[in-house]
Every structure is written in structure tokens, then in C-alpha cells.
């Protein structure tokens, strides 16, 4: 059986999953490092432990927060002394499935939501609550979303381990533990909504701090930047170019605009 202490150790070690990230086998060393204490518990003699460790040193790549879902399953199969090939196949299948889910939830959406919240908190504290100093606003703005995000990722690592240990040995193990599609849909909507608010807020602040001041020429240029930036981004996005292309184009346009100021 996997004890609470084992789970805590496994979750802690999973923080180092990508420490030796390499192009040959990706997270293999980190994965072995994560499950090592429990493997030592299962395999008492060095020879069988060595065999098992070597098996897990093969290529492995998943989303780091979702590693619990794979590790719990693998450890359950190892403890049941399942067939070597079966363990390998299920491990790879789950790693791919959870990588796809985790990337969409954490890297594509939640990371953005955290960034947007950081900005909102700063602006709200800085502009609305006059008693709060700017440095304090910055500190609250950076720490609050980060703490929430960190707790959530640790929770996912822990419950992943818990769920996958319970259903260990099956190809679709714990994939139904959460309604992933609903989560992804909801996060997309939240991110979209926050982006719109961020956009409106930025335009308001921009108008307040920049457009109201300066000479007529300056005001005109500052107003023109907005549609130009929008158009440049759309132009390069159509060709699926990364953000450095529109930024470089913006620098070139600014060089020309600078001549008129």
C-alpha cells in the first residue's frame, strides 16, 4: 500500500521532474528520481531494483504537473509485478494523454490567467485604494496569484497520484477523474473575458496617461499607434509568425514616427 508519507515524498520529488531535461530521453531521469523511494520499497534486492530502474530510464515526457497521474499508475503496476511490456505501454500512453491535457490547461490557459490577475490586482490596488503604497501593491499583485497557482499545482500532483494509484493498471486510468473538457472550455472563456477587460483597462489607462498630454503631433502619433499595432499583429498572425515579427515591424515604424516628434 502507498502511505500518506509516501505520497508526500513522491509529490516533493516530482518537483524535480525536469531537472535533467534532455533531448535524448526528456524527463526520464526526473521520473526515475520521483518514483525511486517507492521502487526501493517494492524491490528489496538490488538486482531487481536495477532492472526496474533501467526500464524507467527510457524516454519519458509529460506535462510536469500531471506526472502524479502517470507515477501512481506505474507504481501500482510495479507493486503488482505486472508484465514489463504492459507497464511500458500503459506508461507511454498515459504520459501522452496527460501531456496534452496538462499543456492545454496549465501552459495555454492558467498561466495566462495568472499573468492577467497579477496586472488586475496591481492596477486595482494602485488606482483604487490610495492608502496602499505602490511597492505594497506590487508585492500583493505578484504573490497572491502565484500562491493560488502553486497550491493548485501541488493539489493536482497529489490527487493525480491518489486517483491513479486507485485505478492503476488500466490504459484510461484516472482520465475521467475530472471533467477535463469542461475545465478547458471554462478556462478558455475566463481567459477570453479577462483579456477583453485587460484590453479595455489598458486603453483607458493609456488614454488617461498619454493621449491627454503633449503636443498635437504627439497626440496624433499616440492615437495612431493603436490601430497600427492591431493591424500589424493581424497581418503577421495570418502567416502564423511569432510575436517577434510584429514587434520588429513596430520598432521599424517607430523609427519613422520618431522623426516626426
Partner 1 sequence: MKEIFLVILAGLLNLDNVSAFQFLVSRPSFAGAVIGYLSGYPVQGFLIGMLLELVILDFTPVGGVTIPNGTVAVIVSVLLLPKTNPYLAFFLGLIAGEGYSYVEKYLRGFRNRFNSICENMIERYDFNLWKVITLSMILDVIVFSIYSIISIYILSFVAIKLNTDYVFKVSKIALIGTVFITLTSLYFKFKTQVGKND
Q: Which of residues 174-203 bind partner 1 (CB under 8 A)?
A: 184-185, 188-189, 191-192, 195-196, 198-199, 202
Contact 141, 134 (CB under 8 A): no
Residue 204 lies near partner 1 (rule: CB under 8 A): no
Q: What does the per-residue mask of binding to partner 1 show for 211-230, with x meaning CB under 8 A? A: ----------xx--xx-xxx
Q: Which of 131/170 has CB closer to partner 1?
A: 131
Pick from 24, 130, 215, 240: which binds partner 1 (CB under 8 A)? 24
Of 84-143, binders to partner 1 (CB under 8 A) are: 99, 103, 107-109, 111-112, 114-115, 118-119, 122, 134-135, 138-139, 141-142
C-alpha span between 189 and 166 (Å, rounded): 32
Q: How many residues bind partner 1 (CB under 8 A)?
A: 86
Q: Which of 37/169 has CB closer to partner 1?
A: 37
Coil vs helix vs strand at 26: strand
Contact 104, 197 (CB under 8 A): no
* List of residues 6+ apart from 231 with CB closer than 8 A: none
Pick from 26, 69, 163, 165: which binds partner 1 (CB under 8 A)? 26
C-alpha span between 255 and 43 (Å, rounded): 67
Q: Extract the C-alpha cell encoding 194.
A: 479577462
C-alpha span between 52 and 72 (Å, rounded): 15
C-alpha span between 76 and 86 (Å, rounded): 12
C-alpha span between 27 and 49 (Å, rounded): 19
Q: What is the enclosing helix (H) or strand (E) of 151?
A: helix 134-166
Residue 235 lies near partner 1 (rule: CB under 8 A): no
Of 32-51, binders to partner 1 (CB under 8 A) are: 32-33, 36, 40, 46, 49-50
For the bound state, the minimum distance from the C-beta of residue 248 to partner 1, rounded and expressed in Å, comes to 10
Residue 254 lies near partner 1 (rule: CB under 8 A): yes
Of 51-80, binders to partner 1 (CB under 8 A) are: 53-54, 57, 61, 64-65
Q: Extract the C-alpha cell encoding 180.
A: 477535463
For the bound state, the minimum distance from the C-beta of residue 69 to partner 1, rounded and expressed in Å, comes to 16
Of residues 13, 93, 26, the one with CA closest to residue 57? 26
Q: Which of 97/169 has CB closer to partner 1?
A: 97
Amino acid at each position: 500500500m502507498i502511505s500518506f508519507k509516501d505520497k508526500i515524498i513522491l509529490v516533493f520529488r516530482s518537483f524535480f521532474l525536469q531537472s535533467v531535461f534532455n533531448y535524448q530521453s526528456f524527463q526520464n531521469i526526473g521520473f526515475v528520481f520521483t518514483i525511486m523511494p517507492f521502487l526501493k520499497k517494492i524491490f528489496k534486492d538490488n538486482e531487481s531494483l536495477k532492472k526496474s530502474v533501467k526500464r524507467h530510464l527510457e524516454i519519458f515526457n509529460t506535462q510536469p504537473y500531471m506526472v502524479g497521474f502517470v507515477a501512481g499508475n506505474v507504481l501500482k503496476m510495479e507493486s503488482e509485478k505486472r508484465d514489463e511490456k504492459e507497464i511500458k505501454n500503459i506508461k507511454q500512453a498515459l504520459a501522452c494523454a496527460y501531456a496534452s491535457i496538462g499543456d492545454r490547461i496549465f501552459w495555454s490557459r492558467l498561466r495566462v490567467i495568472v499573468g492577467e490577475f497579477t496586472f488586475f490586482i496591481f492596477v486595482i490596488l494602485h488606482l483604487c485604494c490610495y492608502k496602499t503604497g505602490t511597492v505594497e501593491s506590487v508585492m500583493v499583485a505578484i504573490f497572491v496569484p502565484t500562491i493560488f497557482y502553486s497550491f493548485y499545482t501541488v493539489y493536482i500532483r497529489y490527487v493525480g497520484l491518489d486517483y491513479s494509484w486507485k485505478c492503476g493498471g488500466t490504459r484510461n486510468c484516472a482520465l475521467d477523474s475530472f471533467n477535463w473538457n469542461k475545465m478547458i472550455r471554462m478556462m478558455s472563456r475566463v481567459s477570453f473575458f479577462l483579456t477583453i477587460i485587460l484590453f479595455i483597462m489598458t486603453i483607458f489607462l493609456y488614454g488617461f496617461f498619454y493621449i491627454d498630454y503633449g503636443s498635437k503631433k504627439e497626440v496624433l502619433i499616440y492615437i495612431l499607434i493603436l490601430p497600427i499595432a492591431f493591424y500589424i499583429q493581424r497581418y503577421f498572425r495570418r502567416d502564423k509568425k511569432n510575436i517577434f515579427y510584429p514587434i520588429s515591424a513596430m520598432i521599424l515604424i517607430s523609427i519613422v514616427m520618431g522623426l516626426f516628434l
